[in-house]
Structures are given as structure tokens and as C-alpha cells.
Amino acid sequence: MSRGPDWLSYRRYAAFTTGMALTLISLGIYTAATGSGLACAQQWPLCDGGVLPQSIPSFIEWFHRLWAMITGFLILGAAVWAWRSRGSVSTRGRFAVTLATVLTPMQAIFGAVTVTLNGALPGGYSAPVHAAHFLTGFSIFALLSYATLLAYDGRFSRDALARGRLAVGAGLVGLLVAWVLARIDPVSSYSPVEQAGFFAVSLAAFASLLAATRWLGELDELIPRAATGAAAVLLFVGMVLGRDLVVYSAGVRFVNWLVLATAVALTAGAAWALRGVEPDVSEPAYGSTDD
């Protein structure tokens, strides 16, 4: 697309939309944790019988749905932009953002079943629907993150090794912060704010690990790449265990602890393994807009 200000590029738009999706998931976690999900029920965009909400729980739910609507339109815009800019957006990038767009209405439907239609639909707020709501939201974020990475191919001044080290370091820091906020830590009360913070940091760490896994693919060092990929998968499992989808017994708590501990160990191991790797001065420019 040729119209618009010079500073607004597709890759920046994709990155901004990904950040909006991360914030939306965190807002959804906070809304559910505070018990505000049913505040507006079937009245939205109205709430409490008026245009604006009249209580804090109502405002939380009203604002969450407003953010979701804006994010949904941004995701749709990213798909339209990608397909109208075929020469500058790779095929994989177009299909990733398109799949995220297809999943967005499904995410809205699952959200409606859990809150808006909860009183009218038997079993609306149940573990399967709750799980589907989270999984679709996470999938949208993961697809947008991947599409953003593809959009930035060839736009970095750092070589693959430097970028990989930076991404691994960011992933490790994110994992350690998530550990503090997770429900496995006795220091954490897993309050609504801590729950939202845990998922915000975990999603950022996941995106960093995804970036590390992709960028390290340019190197012959396959072990660090496999470690960051496995850590990303384990982090996702840790997020699932943090959503009250199963009875959080002592056994589940131990599994949750083991999953996050292994993710931290794998990421730290990848960072350590990359310390002795020398950059390849003959390395070609990273990425292209071709497949």
C-alpha cells in the first residue's frame, strides 16, 4: 500500500497489532480474575443500563471488550494490507496474518459464550469453552508474532548470531520474571494483577523465544535452536496450567514448577552454548521478501 505517512510501514503496523493482542489477552486475564466478565452481560456496548459503565467491574469489562473490538479491526487491517502488498510481504507472512484473522471471530464467539451468553446458554462458562477461548487467543498472538518476524526479515543491522543472543537473553529474563509472578511461587499470591502480569511477561518471553528459534536457524548450531524451541513449547504449557483449566492440586503444581524450571534451564543452556560461537563474517544478508 502506497498511501499513508512515511513512518507507517506494514512491519510496524504488524508489530503494533501484535502488541495490542498481547495487551488484550492480559486484559482478558485480569477481567476474568476480578470476576468482572459478567458485569455488562448482554448489554454491551451499553453497560449498567446506560452508555457508560457505572461501577469499576463494569468499566473493566466494558474497556476489555472495547480493546478487543479495536484489536480485531487492526488484525483484519493487517490481513488486507498483507494481501494488497504481495510484493513486499512473503507468502508465509500473508497466510499467518490471514489465519489470525480467521481465528479472531472464533475468539469473539468463545468470549461471548463465556460471558455475554453465559446466562442464556447452558454450560456457557465451562472448562472446555474456557480452554478454547484461551487457546484461540494464544494462537492469534503466536501467528501475529510470526508474521511480524517475517515482516522484519532483512531489516536488522545485527547478524543472526547477535540477534539470536539478544532474543535468547530477552526470553530468559522474561521467563525469570514470569517465574516470580506464576502461581507456583510461594511469594506470589497470584492476584488479578499478578495473573495479568504473568501472562503479559510470558507472552513477551514466548515471542522472544520464537524469534530466537527463527534467527538461530541461520546458524549451524542446532542445539541452542532446539533448546529455545522446546522452551517456547514448555512456556505455553505453563501458561495453560495457569488458567484454572484443571484442579490445581499439589501434583499439578509440581508439574507446573517442573515445566517452567525446564524452560528456564533450556533457555539458560542455549545462552551458554552461544557464548563460544563466533560470527560468520561471510554470512549473507538475513531474509528476503521471497519464500
Which active-site residues does the annotation give? 61
Strand (E) or helix (H) holding 263: helix 250-273
| String of DSSP letters for 33-78 | HTT-TTSSGGGTTSBTTBSS-SSHHHHHHHHHHHHHHHHHHHHHHH
Question: Are the C-beta atoms of 263 and 237 separated by less than 8 Å?
Answer: no
HSE (side-chain half, CA atoms, 13 Å) at 136: 18
Residue with cell 476474568: 32
> Nearest-5° angle of CA 92, CA 94, CA 96?
65
Angle, CA of 226, 230 and 231, to the nearest 5°: 115
Inter-residue contact 43 to 49 (CB < 8 Å) = yes
